[in-house]
Amino acid sequence: MSSTEPEIAVDDPTAPAEDSPAITSTRVVETIVYIVLLALALLLGFDNWRTGMGWEAEGPQAGYFPFYLSIVLAAASLYGLVDIFISRAASGETFVTRDQFRRVMQVFVPTFLFCLFTQWLGLYVASFILIAGFMWMVGRIALWKSIVTSLVFSLAMFVTFEIAFDVIMPKGPLEALFGF
Amino acid sequence: MEAFGLLIHGFAVLLTWKTLALMMVGLVLGVFVGVLPGLGGPNGVAILLPLTFSMDPTSAIVMLSCIYWGALFGGAITSILFNIPGEAWSVATTFDGYPMAQQGKAAEALTAAFTSSFIGSLFAVLLITFLAPGIASFALRFGPPEFFAVYLLTFCSFVGLGREAKHKTIISMALGLLLAGVGMDTVSGQLRMTFGLSELLRGINFLVAVIGLFGISEILLTMEERLALRGHAARISLRVLLNVWMDLPRYWVTLLRSSVIGAWLGITPGGAIAASFMGYNLAKRFSKDSDSFGKGRIEGVFAPETAAHASGTAALLPMLALGIPGSGTAAILLGGLMVWGLNPGPLLFVEHKDFVWGLIASMYLGNIVGLVIVLTTVPVFAAVLRVPFAAIAQ
């Protein structure tokens, strides 16, 4: 069935190796997540209790619904925690290997930095840096191609949103130089 | 029937070259918007709304509704080819659509998705044409208990038919609802869970949540694997098309049921998202072979797409008849209407007959044209996705 169709063939030079050592197991991560969720539920529950979770003359107070939601969340998280300790069966499952973790960080850290840079450099300059950097370093695409693509894209976005549609995005010092 | 005569009149209003051109532009833009995750039906319409202020209301709303249509169609493309839902309502399409693509049946899945979308929309438009007055008056009697019941049913069906462990589904739901509750409470005006941060006054932006939860997390997940994509190309040949279409009548029960669910949830503010999940869940429940859902059953693509489109289209009915938008996008269209001085409501049908019936006629035409456009241009959009993931990911 797929013999008559063109294949999309995209390469991946920095792919994680199959035999990379594991960093941690699923049980550990799930336990941590459940605990975090439990803490969140308690925090939000407290806040909603403070806002008011009773029933007024005209109906439920503002915090009513979220309060019970946080109770549901806490209960389900507790259930999950108990479930993990009871069923020791799925203990060995790897959550992430070292290589995979490296790759995920390769995306996550730049994206996080992008959000930070947007505050100071504005959206368009920050995305230019992000796209060019990502294409070059992770995708191993030639530097000139990365820069040109990124430049074209950022400019296109700028023209589309700022000029054509009048949608104001955070801008930085570079745009200020040109009077925007 | 009076409705029929008015409809013919509507077509007459519609069939000018200018309006038809605008329709094509709107559809293409819409599909593009639907394909890109994060830029969805409501946002796309919202961003392009100012563009249309220079046009006359009929053309403008025709173009806007075609953008909406295109977005409905386009969301299926990335859902099936890449397992990244282009819109919230195409999440259910990924359940069976992506496995189908992985098995090399991407073209079938896409054809099925588009065709069933078309059928769903058509059903809803027929409904609108002939039942507009009657249904509108019933929807007016729906009160908070009834809305609550609909949502409760939908959430329970998530939990009951979910693939993950039940408590995880419940956690996700509770977390989602809590996140949605951050900000100012619309009923009492009190601030909830903002912890003194003024940025959270308006709550957590839906777009931010969608991009973070679906876009970024999907990308991070994909980075864990090899990014070498194979076989998820799709050229819809005539052979594939006819195969799927001939297969279609077998599933008439699913299609009909999903259309009805969709139309009902669209008219009452349930929305396309709830409709697509309910359509999928009910198809799975009523099927004789429910285990094969989630592994690439074509019915698993039919059901949510039909329901989502029927609902998205039907959402326009209470918007026009009552001024109550049935979905987020309908709400934006409503805003547009009011800006042009056309106040939606029963009087709209009386005072601005041209406009209303022109719009309804455009729904038929837009549907047909939209189907043709997506079926022929899928290779183009698939080609967009050929660009190395590293570039697209940004």
Amino acid identity of residue A70, one-letter, is S
Q: Helix B91-102 vs helix B299-314: angle between axes, to the nearest 10 degrees?
A: 150
Mutate to test the interface with A, among B54, B192, B219 (most CBs of A within 10 A): B192
Rounded distance between C-alpha atoms, residue B344 and residue B335, angstroms: 10
With CB atoms and an 8 Å threshold, state whether B192 touches A83. no
With CB atoms and an 8 Å threshold, state whether B390 touches A15. no
Average pLDDT over residues A62-79: 87
By CB atoms closer than 10 A (0-12, 13-18, 19+), residue B199 is exposed
Rounded distance between C-alpha atoms, residue B390 and residue B394, angstroms: 7
pLDDT digits (tens, 9 = 90+) for A99-153: 777 777 877 888 888 888 888 887 788 888 888 887 777 777 788 888 888 888 8
Q: How far is B24 from chain A (nearest CA, A)?
A: 20
Whether residue B388 is predicted with pLDDT greater than 60 in this model: the reply is no
Amino acid identity of residue B64, one-letter, is L
Rounded distance between C-alpha atoms, residue B294 and residue B164, angstroms: 12
pLDDT digits (tens, 9 = 90+) for B114-130: 888 888 888 887 877 77
Residues 6+ apart with CB under 8 A from A18: none
Query: What region does B268 belong to: left with phi over 0, alpha with psi -120 to 50, or beta?
Result: beta
Would you say A23 and A98 are in contact if contact means Cβ atoms under 8 Å apart?
yes
pTM of structure? 0.56
Strand partners, A171: A122
With CB atoms and an 8 Å threshold, state whether A165 touches B229. no
With CB atoms and an 8 Å threshold, state whether B181 touches A12. no
pLDDT digits (tens, 9 = 90+) for B326-342: 566 666 676 667 666 67
Q: How far is A15 from chain B (nearest CA, A)?
A: 5
A4 touching chain B per CB within 8 A: yes
pLDDT digits (tens, 9 = 90+) for B135-158: 555 655 666 787 677 667 767 766
Rounded distance between C-alpha atoms, residue B98 and residue B295, angstroms: 9
With CB atoms and an 8 Å threshold, state whether B226 touches A72. no
With CB atoms and an 8 Å threshold, state whether A5 touches B107. yes
Contacts of B187 in chain A (CB under 8 A): 59, 62
- Phi (first) and psi of residue B252, to 5 degrees: -60, -30
Size of interface A-B (CB pairs under 8 A): 147
Average pLDDT over residues B269-296: 67
> Which of A52, A76, A167 is opposite residue B174, by nearest beta carbon?
A76
Q: What is the ipTM of this complex?
A: 0.72
Show which of residues 93-122 on chain B sit within 8 Å of chain A, judged by CB atoms: 104-107
With CB atoms and an 8 Å threshold, state whether B192 touches A62. yes
Q: Helix B166-181 vs helix A64-86: angle between axes, to the nearest 10 degrees?
A: 150
Query: What region does A91 belong to: left with phi over 0, alpha with psi -120 to 50, or beta?
Result: alpha
Q: How far is A111 from chain B (nearest CA, A)?
A: 9
* Identity of the highest mean pLDDT range in A59-63, A71-75, B65-69: A71-75
Name the pLDDT band for A36 (thresholds 50, 70, 90): very high
Q: Which helix (H) or strand (E) holds A60?
A: strand A59-60
Minimal Cα distance from B81: which residue of A?
A8
> Which of B106, B188, B228 is opposite residue A62, by nearest beta carbon?
B188
For B343-360, give one letter per residue: b (16+ CB within 10 A) or e.
Answer: ebbeebbeebebbbbbbb
Contacts of B168 in chain A (CB under 8 A): 76, 80
Average pLDDT over residues A20-48: 83
Would you say B362 and B23 are in contact if contact means Cβ atoms under 8 Å apart?
yes
> Which of B168, B193, B391 is opposite residue A44, by nearest beta carbon?
B193
Minimal Cα distance from B166: which residue of A?
A76
Query: What region does B85 belong to: left with phi over 0, alpha with psi -120 to 50, or beta?
Result: beta
Percentage of chain B beyond pLDDT 70 is 54
Residue with tokens 């309006």: B19
User: Which of the 8 DSSP states describes residue A171?
Assistant: B
Residue with tokens 């709400």: B331
With CB atoms and an 8 Å threshold, state whether B178 touches A2. no
Whether residue B382 is predicted with pLDDT greater than 60 in this model: the reply is no
Would you say A98 and B350 are in contact if contact means Cβ atoms under 8 Å apart?
no
Rounded distance between C-alpha atoms, residue B281 and residue A6, angstroms: 34
DSSP string across A74-139 = HHHHHHHHHHHHH--GGGS-EEEEHHHHHHHHHHHHHHHHHHHHHHHHBHHHHHHHHHHHHHHHTS
Reference B278, options B263, B266, B261; nearest CA is B261
Q: Token pair for residue B28?
A: 């293409």
Q: Which helix (H) or strand (E) holds A73?
A: helix A64-86
Length of chain A: 180
Minimal Cα distance from A126: which residue of B?
B394
Show which of residues 60-79 on chain A sit within 8 Å of chain B, judged by CB atoms: 61-63, 65-66, 69-70, 72-73, 76-77, 79
A133 touching chain B per CB within 8 A: no
A42 touching chain B per CB within 8 A: no
Contacts of B391 in chain A (CB under 8 A): 131, 134-135, 139, 141, 149
With CB atoms and an 8 Å threshold, state whether B220 touches A37. no
pLDDT digits (tens, 9 = 90+) for B173-201: 888 888 878 877 777 777 777 777 777 77
